[in-house]
A and B are shown apart, each in its own frame.
Chain A
């Protein structure tokens, strides 16, 4: 069973517009959430994170929103740039452990 789900395998956005990537989870014991970006032939790299005690975290063009009641988080990229084209994974950490569970990924394509 997939505890962290990214239901959109792909997303295309025009350069300069907003990209919104979504992630749902089932385990209410997750206490820390992260987004990673992955380019082809490279490992995933950390992008932004949020603790379960917050509902928003911003870092430059990237903002992560957490809705605990809906068990949903999203990543907003504004404005989107062609260099943002990559696969984005959301991940969640089980509280009291260092177990990080990842989703299936969403491939973002930003069109110039």
Chain B
């Protein structure tokens, strides 16, 4: 199994630009999570999906953040417009019943 695949690995953009992060979960996993890692807050849950439906988006910091899961094998996290304080490492993870979360290798986002 290829594991959870995230792209791009690194993204550098200017303030005000739109950023789209992508995730392909492990085949057969019906839960998908987006986390953000910062020094101050550690791994912060942004949103999670079950069977492509958003279940809890209470961690999404602002309306500038949106996430979609159009099918079982693909999800996006979009930031529009981006700001320097959005700079962080964003992780996608997937799981199914009785299986711990499997994480991708993350996208390091830098907003200048």
Binding site for B on A (CB under 8 A): 2, 6, 34, 36, 41-46, 49, 89, 91, 97-105
Q: Is the CB of A44 within 8 A of B45?
A: no
B73-112 interface bits toward A, Cβ cutoff 8 Å, 1 = contact, 0 = none: 0000000000000000001010100001111111000000
Q: A49-B100, A98-B50, A102-B42 are in contact. List 10 more A-B contacts (CB 8 A).
A: A34-B100, A36-B101, A36-B103, A41-B105, A43-B4, A44-B43, A46-B100, A91-B101, A100-B33, A104-B42
Q: Is the CB of A89 within 8 A of B42?
A: yes
Partner of A44, one of B31, B41, B56, B103: B103
> By CB atoms of chain A within 10 A, which of B39, B55, B102, B103 has the most?
B103
Q: Is the CB of A43 within 8 A of B42?
A: no
Residues of B with C-beta under 8 A to A45 = 103
CB distance from B5 to the nearest CB of A (A): 11
Q: Is the CB of A43 within 8 A of B106?
A: yes
Residues of A with C-beta under 8 A to B56 = 97, 99
CB distance from A28 to the nearest CB of B (A): 19
Q: Is the CB of A99 within 8 A of B101?
A: no
Residues of A with C-beta under 8 A to B103 = 36, 43-45
Docked CA distance A68–B39 (Å): 27
Total A-B Cβ pairs within 8 A: 56
Residues of A with C-beta under 8 A to B50 = 98
Instruction: Give the size range of B's interface with the partner.
Output: 20 to 34
Summarize A's interface: helix, strand, loop or mixed.
loop
Residues of B with C-beta under 8 A to A6 = 42
Closest A residue to B31 by beta carbon equals A98
Closest A residue to B92 by beta carbon equals A43
Q: Is the CB of A46 within 8 A of B101?
A: yes
User: 5 shortest A-B CB distances, which residue pairs?
Assistant: A43-B103, A104-B42, A102-B43, A46-B100, A43-B105
